[in-house]
């Protein structure tokens, strides 16, 4: 039975609610498929087209995102909390940020998808978003690292996003406090059996990768930093509250960015959209950057990591000034450096965890709630040839960049 059929009543109720608010009550709805296996772990996605019968308004292309209903998954993972978080982001945080920009006579963010509406009941959670593919946006592809042209767009977007958090926190601390009163999900996810399995195997897996690739000096440095404490290091980072903090994007891997392309080659992107805000939290801006840079950048891009930080900080500083705040007071470069020194291990460790999942064929992806030691080992066994080489190279490059980078 398809996702559309499983959620048919909820789909219709959500769509009726959305278009009633737009004074459109007579329309046709057609469905055009689901997301691929491995694209999302806590939600099911379907695509729908809503065409008003009056012929006066255009067809609306929607992505409908539902909390997975599996009992095992919902017992083991905070599905409800994740959707409540994302509904809060679309319903409260985004409108407040956009209003703040409007008050400063600035253009609204163009890197956020339009939200048509949300639905939450005792049994269901759902979010209806603009289908970005209908306006020429697409995912780069989870196995493809991002080059300099793509990273420039994501860094500029993060600079503006984080600057808005920082400025709002300074100028309207009461409102920002209300918006940012959101529990971090990383510690909860880290306590799940699936994450414990991945953390438990990480040191052995990385040691083998470095040994097989004759990276013995890097192995020595890796052991000095992480031996016997990969999970403890990760946990220490995700719970620390280094100031200043922002409302983060959260889940910054490659599938949560869509780029506007003008040709099928997917080169020279003209725009970016940030999607999936289920793990957003109040944290250092470097939580976003460390996760993003180490898990998505190509080897060549990581060699220019200092230039990447320049793009980010220039964007952040410029936007802070436009919003009426002083970057040298709120977030000077020295603070960025201090935060990075404490948060870079988060991104490197997430690379250990995510690379085998990213480079696994969609048909072989394991449901996250079923991840055990045997499943995790089978997953790595299925990585062969070019997929295995790419996964290992990206882990090696993340460790090198994290351990060796100096501002």
pLDDT in tens, 195-253: 998 999 999 999 999 999 999 999 999 999 999 999 999 999 999 999 999 999 999 99
pLDDT band at 388 (very low <50, low <70, confident <90, very high): confident
Lowest mean pLDDT among 16-25, 124-133, 341-350: 16-25
For residues 140-161, give the mean pLDDT. Answer: 94
Is the pLDDT at 1 greater than 50? The verdict is no
pLDDT of amino acid 266: 78
From 83, 79, 89, 84, select the one nearest 282 (Cα to Cα): 89
pLDDT of amino acid 15: 85
Give the residue with greater pLDDT, 39 vs 261: 261
What share of the chain in percent tops pLDDT 90?
65
pLDDT in tens, 251-295: 999 999 999 988 777 788 999 999 999 999 999 999 999 999 999
Mean pLDDT rounded to a whole number for the chain: 90
pLDDT band at 104 (very low <50, low <70, confident <90, very high): very high
Is the pLDDT at 189 greater than 60? The verdict is yes
Is the pLDDT at 365 greater than 80? The verdict is no
pLDDT band at 3 (very low <50, low <70, confident <90, very high): very low
pLDDT band at 4 (very low <50, low <70, confident <90, very high): very low
pLDDT of amino acid 34: 67
Give the residue with greater pLDDT, 380 vs 275: 275
For residues 378-391, give the mean pLDDT. Answer: 79
pLDDT band at 122 (very low <50, low <70, confident <90, very high): confident
Is the pLDDT at 161 greater than 70? The verdict is yes
Residue ranges and CATH numbers for the domains of the chain are 138-404 (3.90.1200)
- Secondary structure of the chain as H, E, C letters: CCHHHHCHHHHHHHHHHHHHCCCCCCEEEEEEEECCCCCCCCEEEEEEEEEECCCCCCCEEEEEEEECCCHHHHHHCCHHHHHHHHHHHHHHHHHHHHHHHHHCCCCCCCCCCCEEEEEECCCCEEEEEECHHHHCEEECCCCCCECHHHHHHHHHHHHHHHHHHHHHHHHCHHHHHHHCCCCCCHHHHHCCHHHHHHHHHHHHHHHHHHHHCCCHHHHHHHHHHHCCCHHHHHHHHHHCCCCCCEECCCCCCHHHEEEECCCCCCCCCCEEEECCCCCCCEECHHHHHHHHHHHHECHHHHCCHHHHHHHHHHHHHHHHHHCCCCHHHHCCHHHHHHHHHHHHHHHHHHHHHHHHHHCCCHHHCCCHHHCCHHHHHHHHHCCCHHHHHHHHHHHHHHHHHHHHCCC
Q: Is the pTM of this model over 0.85?
A: yes
For residues 7-24, give the mean pLDDT. Answer: 77
pLDDT of amino acid 36: 59
């Amino acid at each position: 039975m398809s996702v559309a059929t499983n959620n048919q009543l909820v789909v219709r109720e959500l769509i009726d609610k959305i278009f009633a608010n737009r004074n459109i009550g007579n329309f046709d709805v057609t469905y055009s498929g689901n997301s691929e296996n491995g694209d999302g772990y806590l939600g099911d996605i379907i695509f729908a087209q809503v065409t008003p019968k009056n012929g006066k308004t255009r067809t609306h292309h929607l992505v409908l995102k539902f909390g997975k209903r599996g009992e095992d998954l919902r017992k083991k993972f905070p599905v409800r909390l994740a959707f409540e978080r994302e509904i809060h982001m679309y319903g409260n945080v985004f409108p407040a940020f956009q209003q703040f920009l409007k008050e400063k006579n600035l253009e609204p963010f163009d890197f956020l998808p339009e939200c048509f509406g949300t639905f939450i009941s005792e049994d269901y959670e759902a979010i209806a978003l603009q289908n970005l593919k209908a306006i020429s946006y697409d995912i780069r592809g989870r196995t493809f690292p991002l080059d300099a042209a793509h990273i420039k767009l994501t860094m500029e977007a993060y600079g503006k996003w984080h600057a808005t958090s920082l400025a709002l926190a300074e100028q309207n601390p009461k409102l920002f406090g209300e918006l940012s009163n959101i529990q971090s999900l990383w510690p909860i996810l880290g306590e799940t059996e699936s994450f414990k399995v991945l953390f438990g195997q990480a040191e052995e897996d990385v040691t083998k990768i470095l040994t097989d690739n004759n990276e013995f000096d890097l192995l020595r440095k890796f052991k000095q930093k992480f031996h016997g404490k990969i999970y403890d290091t990760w946990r220490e980072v995700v719970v620390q509250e280094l100031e200043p903090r922002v409302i983060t994007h959260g889940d910054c891997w490659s599938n949560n960015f869509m780029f506007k392309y003008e040709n099928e080659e997917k080169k020279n992107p003209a725009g970016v959209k940030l999607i999936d805000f289920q793990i957003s939290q109040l944290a250092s801006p470097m939580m976003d950057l460390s996760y993003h840079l180490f898990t998505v950048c190509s080897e060549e891009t990581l060699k220019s990591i200092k230039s990447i930080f320049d793009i980010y900080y220039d964007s952040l500083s410029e936007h802070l000034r436009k919003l009426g705040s002083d970057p040298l007071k709120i977030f000077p470069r020295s603070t960025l450096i201090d935060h990075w020194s404490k948060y870079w291990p988060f991104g490197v460790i997430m690379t250990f965890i995510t690379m085998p999942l990213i480079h696994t064929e969609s048909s072989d992806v394991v449901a996250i709630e079923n991840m055990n030691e045997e499943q995790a080992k089978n997953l790595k066994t299925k990585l062969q040839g070019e997929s295995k080489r790419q996964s290992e190279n990206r882990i090696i490059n993340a460790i090198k960049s994290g351990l060796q980078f100096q501002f």
